Each structure stands twice: as structure tokens, then as C-alpha cells.
A and B are shown apart, each in its own frame.
Chain A
């Protein structure tokens, strides 16, 4: 059993509960042991680095200490957490002076040996594809998925460690592995506007419109995401977008882990599908011949 330290971050314990549930369920099925970091604290996300550079490093690093002592790598499913943790680790590895400063703040000796992974990277590790493929029980070939990466999963290119930051492929590869088809669309790395949702709602709305519209036009049945903010932002505005565009938009926005879970036949309740705003049930009932009664709860 492969062990990883698990850093859920605030979203996965609140608005993105279904991501947390499905992530853990899929990992259990794949024999990956996720151990939640005890007493984890906020990663700092965007507020920290706009106020203090050192704070933006110290917060993520204090979450890494435990993992380093245990000799584990960290899985951070939230795209923003992933980005902060990764950036902090890279900076500390690069600059010994900064490491000393941060160590003084957190009053621990952190060396920087921990590697930070997002779930996409985890499932794309060497043998995972084969393992997932072996476990697939449900025929997903009927649905076409628009894989949406958003901003922080693949960028900045040299930090996120993606092969091609402008044209990432990892989610597409996983979705193909479980048997569904993906669509080649132009918005996979466009901004969803989440960080402007409150300060500049008009801008955010325009961006959401573009992403949803493009997915529709490219024939997607649903959008797969790997970021809590992308999910909520794309999910909850669909009726407004429909009104604005003058066409009916009904695109379930699901976590890619939920899709894996469905395909490998995990107990539907454990995937938290009922927490999604745009209900995905009819889609899976129609295209995959699945009975979704349990999932509806």
C-alpha cells in the first residue's frame, strides 16, 4: 500500500466535500493510503501572498513538517493549496536564507524533502493507469467529457511541473482510461473568474459564460474539474448563463475523481454526487445505463 500525506485544505472540508469523499473513496479502491495531516492549518491561499511573502511561505511549510518527519509526499487536491505548497517548497529548496527565515518563524527545522502532488499527478504516476483500467466496471463510452484544468493546476509551467502548461493532458488521459471520451476544446486552461466572483462579478460571469458555452459547443455532456473553486463557480451560475445566452445550459460539473469512482463501481453514496448543484443523475442514467437511485440519496 502506497502511503501519502493528505492535505485537504478548507474547501474539501466544506464546499467541496464531495471532492474529499470521492478522492478518499477512489484512493481506497486503488490501494493508496491517505493520511490526513494532523492539525493542518490554512495554506494561505491568495490572501497570504498579497500581504507578506514570508507568511505565504511559512503557512504552507508548517503543514509540510509533519509529512517530512514521516517521510511522506503530500497530496493536495485543491488547486490553490497545491500551488501554494509547491511554490513554498520550491522557494525553500532554492534559497537557503529564506529557509532559515521560515524555519525561525515556524520554529522547526524543515529541510524541503517533501514532494507535493495534485491528484492528477498522483493518478498519472507510472502504473496507476493500468490499475484504474483493471478496476473499470461501468461502460462510460457514452459520455463526452470536457476536461477543465483552470489556472493553477498546470501553471506556472516551471512550478506546477506539467509537461505542457498551455495544453495539459493529464486529466484527459485519466478520463480516456476510464473509457469516456474527451473533447478538444479551447477553454481548458482559461480562467473561470473565481477570484473575481465577489469583487468583479460581471467579469467573472463573462468568463464563466465563455467556458460553459465553449464546452456546450464542443458537444460535452459534462465538465470534469479538479479544483473546488472552478467547480462551484461553473456549477452554480448555469441558470443565469442560460438566461444570458438565451439557450438552455445544463452541464453537470463533476470532479474527475467522481467520474473515476462511478466507472470503477464505487458505492455511489460515497462519491457525494448529490452535493452537486447541477444534477448529473439523468446524464449517467441515460448515457451509462446506471441506476442513480442510491446516489440521489
Chain B
């Protein structure tokens, strides 16, 4: 189940035009202690890498709620990277293990939803690995570039006339709806 909705249905010319201009937009969630510091080190070492990445700092990769990742896609990202401390090196002892488990599940969910798995990435980058960070970024950008622009989950039209379906109803209707139900849950669950 790959790429259910990943090809834009537009005229070929426009498509070519977009292909030429298109650059992927990638969000990276970096833990404060290792990966963010690793990215800092890449900076202080002046190691160049692809500029298509936007870093959001979190205290620990364990802080990354899978909803952040789904939300990022909904809000226009083409790819997401989560990076934490190496196993065993977590500043908070076990946070990166939680992140790893959550991520493994999310990856399956994302495949289930028909998304290209090249869009989401997970890496361990320590504070000493500036060059690794740049490598990771370039690899991720490349992978997402291959996957092409993300064009969204298959959402139902959301107008005042349509009755709001409950997440449970949506879940029954198949993978695309299921993804949407996740989205809906993220909205309704908000404080």
C-alpha cells in the first residue's frame, strides 16, 4: 500500500513546472541535548547541508508526540525527521527508547495510511556528530525529494452541512479515513 494520493492530478505542463521548482519542506524535531547540539556543531564546523530543513527544538525525542509528525504533514511538510541521542546516551535515561517505539508504530501506521515511508525518518545524532547531522539532513532531503510533494491525506470535504463524523466512525471506513480520524482526534483532544 504505497502512494495512494502521492501523485498530483494536474496537467502535465504544470506538473513539470512544479517539478522544476519544487523543493521539499522538511521538519526536524531535535532533542536539546544531543541532536540539537550536533546540529550546532555542524554550524560551528561550517559543514554545509541542504537548507530545506526547519528545526524544532524539543527537550527530548521522547517528547515528540506522533501527532506532531502527522500534524506537520497536514500543515505542509513533505517529510519529517526525528533525531535523538544514541541508545543508552539519553539525557533523560530512557526518553529515546520511548521515541523509538512510538516511531516504529507510527511508521507502520503511516504505511497503512498509504503514505510513502520515505517521508519519515528517525536518526541518532550525538552532540559530537556534526558531520553526521549534515549527512542525515542531505539523505533525508534526498529521500523526500524522491517521494515528491506531499499532497495530503484523503480528507472529506469539511463544511457546515456535513455532519461531523466521530473518529470511531471514520476508522471503520478504511485507511485514508483512519488517517483523517487521527487528525480529528488531534483537534478534538486539544485543550
* A touching B, CB within 8 angstroms: no
